[in-house]
Amino acid sequence: MKSLTEQFRVKSDSKFSLKDHDPAFSDGYEKEDAGAALTELIGDTFKLQAQLYASNNYSLLIIFQAMDAAGKDSAIAHTMSGLNPQACQVYSFKQPSSEDYDHDFLWRHYKALPERGRIGIHNRSHYENVLVVKVHPELALKENNPYIKDVNDIDKKFWDQRYESIRNFEKHIHSNGTIVIKFFLNVSKQEQKKRFLKRIDNAAKNWKFQASDITEREHWDEYMSAYEKAINETSTDDCPWYVIPADKKWFTRIAISTIIRDTLKELKLEFPVLPKEEMEKLQEAKQLLEKQ
């Protein structure tokens, strides 16, 4: 039986299609058991995170992408709870600033990469440039790219180069010790509707809803096509995509936590062993303390 990590990973040599992924899938888990399962997973990850932080060799970059109301914020909050906040860095990317537009599209994301020993979480990421920009290509004109004069210049070659830039960027950071895992939270259009209505009906959640959410919902099929293309173009052996069922938030959190734990386990992390000279100093310090 395949593990959740194996089930949801998009292999680089396979053709990914969203129709093959059920947003309501829960792999036999029951909601009433989800809390205990998540607590155990977070406990395992906490121990691995301590080794990651102490060894100070690798860093882990976790990317979250999804349609609105898919549960990115709550997934980050629940799967990262219980971890050492000193060893985590979370960035939520909004629309690019004028300074961002004065650089290439990867610039602001490179700046936000986690330091060695830390876990970095990117809530939205450089993939917005092949998702929302793919659906609204006129946004690319804001980049002031000298080779793009109007929307007609944004052709297949443009997108192929952009996917290649992303692959090369991730290959580069991976080869320098940043482990990259990418989550697409696969929520159904029907479930998104339910969550939007809850946001409207619940005064405490009104702030989460924007009129533009409905406008973007009208482009659902275009977004699904953009996600399929982006995932197929950029899921590699070293920097894989994971397509996570997102209609049941409690299962989404279990799946994400399992994959994070398994990814850290694969690094075979260990606490640093001090050189002989340092160990001798420790013993000397111990003896001094015991005499006090």
pTM: 0.94
Task: Please determine, for residue 291, whether its predicted confidence score (pLDDT) is greater than 90.
Answer: no
**Span 228-232, average pLDDT:** 97
pLDDT > 70 in the chain, percent? 100
Asked whether residue 9 carries a pLDDT value surpassing 90, the answer given is yes
Residue 48 has pLDDT above 90, yes or no: yes
Residue 211 confidence (pLDDT) above 80? no
The CATH class of the 4-291 domain is alpha beta
Tens digits of residue pLDDT in 11-22: 998 889 999 999
Secondary structure of the chain as H, E, C letters? CCCHHHHHEECCCCCCCHHHCCCCCCCCCCHHHHHHHHHHHHHHHHHHHHHHHHHCCCEEEEEEEECCCCCHHHHHHHHHCCCCHHHEEEEECCCCCHHHHCCCCCHHHHHCCCCCCCEEEEECCHHHHHCHHHHCHHHHHHHCCCCCCCHHHCCHHHHHHHHHHHHHHHHHHHHCCEEEEEEEEECCHHHHHHHHHHHHHCHHHHHHCCHHHHHHHCCHHHHHHHHHHHHHHHCCCCCCEEEEECCCHHHHHHHHHHHHHHHHHHCCCCCCCCCHHHHHHHHHHHHHHHHC
Least confident of 32-36, 129-133, 244-248: 32-36
pLDDT of residue 51: 97
Rounded percentage of the chain residues whose pLDDT exceeds 90: 85
Residue 250: pLDDT band (50, 70, 90) is very high
